Amino acid sequence: MKKYIEPRRYLVNCSSRSLPHIFTDVLVIGSGAAGLRAAIDAATTCRVIVLTKDDQLAGSTQHAQGGIAVVVGSDDSFEEHISDTLATGQGLSEPDVVRTIITEGPERFRELLEWGAEFDRTAAGDLDFTLEGGHSRPRIVHARGDATGSEIQATLCAAVRDNPNIRIMEHAFAVDLVTDGNLWRGALVHNEEGGVVLSWARATILATGGCGMLFRETTNPAAVTGDGYAMAYRAGAELQDMEFIQFHPTTLYVAGASRALISESVRGEGGKLRNDLGERFMQHYHPDAELAPRDVVSRAIITEMKRTQATNVLLDVTHMPPGAFAERFPTIYSICRDFDIDVTTSFIPVRPSAHYMVGGVKVDTQGRTSIDRLFAAGEVASTGLHGANRLASNSLLEALVIGHNAGRMAAAHAASNQEPVVRHAIIDDFQPERPGTLIVADVTNSLRALMWRYVGIERNSEDLAAAERAVDSWCSYVMAREFDTPEGWQLQDMLTLAKVITVSARRRTETRGVHCREDFPKISEQWQHHSSIRRKEDKRR
């Protein structure tokens, strides 16, 4: 990777400028399900600070519609869930990791119930399970129909607010991790007053979520810009499987409107996909038709759009009795109604969008990264659970399990490391080379359009090379400028991540799971392994 894709880097040194300092035992960066779950566990023995770049409800967890895939039904089994996960992962899911997360999942789910989370139940009072693509049986628990993420977030936020050992810092943007040689020490943080502070801790947990905003078409909220991956990369952590980005098959497509997720559960309840001619088509692509894995459905939709020269396909839920759709999917029903779509008589226009980063910062089942004192959990982390393609609703399960484990492990590390948290000074070794005004929003929008066009659902060598050249060109002048706002730092993070993803996608010369190479359309035995990428040492130091 070229040297100039590295944005500013902050190193511990005893002779530098003075900044305000804050101290804690465990620092958690991110306030979604994984971050809050980690904070709760770390706070049993430690002081914890949780940083969130927006407010507590701005991340992806709040918007999760589907649910949690968890074995708590009497007719379900760990072995079936494990088998479904391994099959969807297409040879790259780690069996031991899969078993650990799936078998630990029920306990994490029961804890949510103990903390007051309410999940949908049948008339008899039993949990109401639904079916999603890739699952052999209904095992998805959901809340308020399609508001599962909101219920989980509210439950965890309440538990955090009641904990005196946890401090939440909202509108606090983590600019970079601070390192001293190969040791992690803390983070440089831009706060809501516009100042910069140094946050020192004995252990840090990255829980910054995904990178959906790197693509023009996305289901992700605006805050999801991949900052955690970029920070970990710059700190020298190993990143794994960064070419594997899951595109959700069905997002509402109305020209000029922001994209809205149409949950997998809609097809689980019998929704049918039709092309622009009104014809069903999924049965021609997979024996499970609309309930095929997401990568299959996304590529089938793209193929049908090309064949019919249409901008979208159609999701048909008119089979559902009047009122049933609104009761089961109140959020989706409300969104459709806002655009004058009567789901009882009309089809919903949908198309794929970037949804979930399958790869991430490499961790074990305890959330440990390749850097001492640095942990990661949630979408920013790559445990090996998902392999080449995430099974629907496994992500919230993973966030709860790995968040719990990372929180406990970080707390244990902090307790065993009783050396004083020293007030270090820092030096900024970055020297801006290009003074002057840069329209950050214009470069950001251009980057998102480029990534969607060339590094999206279908990829090939020519497009990936073109994307890499463009990113290199933008890096050459964006990275050479000094920024003092989160928007500028976000752009630097997005450019770093775009380079990492594009290089990883170009290297994997096969089609597997969510990574589709038009020029290498088959699975290759030579690629029956994870990919890995990490930052090379800067020779200036």
The CATH number of the domain holding residue 39 is: 3.50.50.60
- CB under 8 Å to 458, separation ≥6 — which residues? 299, 302, 516, 518
Place of tokens 């401090």: 167
pLDDT number for residue 186:
82
| Cβ–Cβ under 8 Å, residues 421 and 201 | yes
Q: Which of 426, 447, 479 is the last residue of a domain?
A: 426
pLDDT number for residue 182:
65
3-class SS at 129?
A: strand
Residue 431 lies in a domain: no
- The mean per-residue pLDDT over the stretch 401-428 comes to 82
Q: Return d(Cα 30, Cα 187) in angstroms, integer.
A: 13
Residues 182 and 260 in one domain: no
Residue 499 lies in a domain: no
Per-residue burial over 476-493, b if 16 or more Cβ lie within 10 Å, else e, is eebbbbebeebebbbbbb
pLDDT number for residue 2:
33
Q: Return d(Cα 367, Cα 534) in angstroms, integer.
A: 18
pLDDT number for residue 261:
85
Most confidently predicted of 49-58, 168-177, 255-264, 379-388: 379-388
Residue 315 lies in a domain: yes
Residue 501 lies in a domain: no
Confidence of residue 294 (pLDDT cuts 50, 70, 90): confident
Question: What tokens appear for 439 in the block?
Answer: 């329209």
Length of the chain counted residue by residue? 541
At residue 499, does pLDDT exceed 80? Answer: yes
Residue 52 lies in a domain: yes
Average pLDDT, the chain: 89
- Of residues 99 and 254, which shows the higher confidence score? 99
Neighbouring C-beta atoms of residue 276, cutoff 10 Å: 16
pLDDT number for residue 58:
65
At residue 527, does pLDDT exceed 50? Answer: yes
Residues 216 and 157 in one domain: yes
Q: Which of 303, 320, 354 is the last residue of a domain?
A: 354
Q: Which of 355, 42, 92 is nearest to 207 (CA)?
A: 42
Q: Percent of the chain at pLDDT above 70?
A: 91
Residues 16 and 74 in one domain: yes
Residues 161 and 192 in one domain: yes
Residues 74 and 202 in one domain: yes
How far from the centroid of its chain's Cα atoms is residue 121's Cα? 28
Model confidence over 74-126: pLDDT tens digits? 899 999 999 999 999 999 999 999 999 999 999 999 999 999 999 999 999 99
At 189, give phi and psi (nearest 5°). -125, 130
Residue 500 lies in a domain: no
Q: Which of 426, 448, 480 is the last residue of a domain?
A: 426
From residue 23, alpha-carbon distances to 47, 48, 164 in Å are 9, 9, 16
Model confidence over 201-231: pLDDT tens digits? 999 999 999 999 999 999 888 899 999 999 9
278: alpha, beta or left? (left if phi > 0; alpha if psi -120 to 50): left
At residue 37, does pLDDT exceed 90? Answer: yes
**What residue spans of 378-439 are helical by DSSP H?**
394-416
Residues 212 and 286 in one domain: no
- The mean per-residue pLDDT over the stretch 486-505 comes to 95
pLDDT number for residue 147:
83
- The mean per-residue pLDDT over the stretch 53-80 comes to 84
Residues 65 and 131 in one domain: yes
Residue 432 lies in a domain: no
Residues 333 and 369 in one domain: no
| Cβ–Cβ under 8 Å, residues 149 and 65 | yes
Angle at 95 between CA 93 and CA 101, to 5 degrees: 90
Confidence of residue 133 (pLDDT cuts 50, 70, 90): confident
Q: How many helices (H) and strands (E) does the chain have?
A: 13, 25
- The number of CA neighbours under 13 Å toward the Cβ of 157 is 19
Place of tokens 């991430």: 360
Residues 280 and 164 in one domain: no
Q: Which of 41, 270, 275 is nearest to 165 (CA)?
A: 41
At residue 539, does pLDDT exceed 70? Answer: no
Question: Which domain, by its residues, includes 330?
Answer: 249-354
Model confidence over 359-396: pLDDT tens digits? 999 999 999 999 988 999 999 999 999 999 999 899 99
Q: Return d(Cα 143, Cα 67) in angstroms, integer.
A: 7
Domain count, the chain: 2
Residue 454 lies in a domain: no
| Cβ–Cβ under 8 Å, residues 216 and 354 | no
Rg of the chain, C-alpha, whole Å? 23
Q: Which of 527, 220, 289, 248 is nearest to 388 (CA)?
A: 527
**Kind of pairing between the strands at 458-459 and 381-382:** unpaired
Known catalytic residues are 294
Q: Which of 278-282, 474-478, 503-507 has the lowest mean pLDDT?
A: 474-478
pLDDT number for residue 181:
65
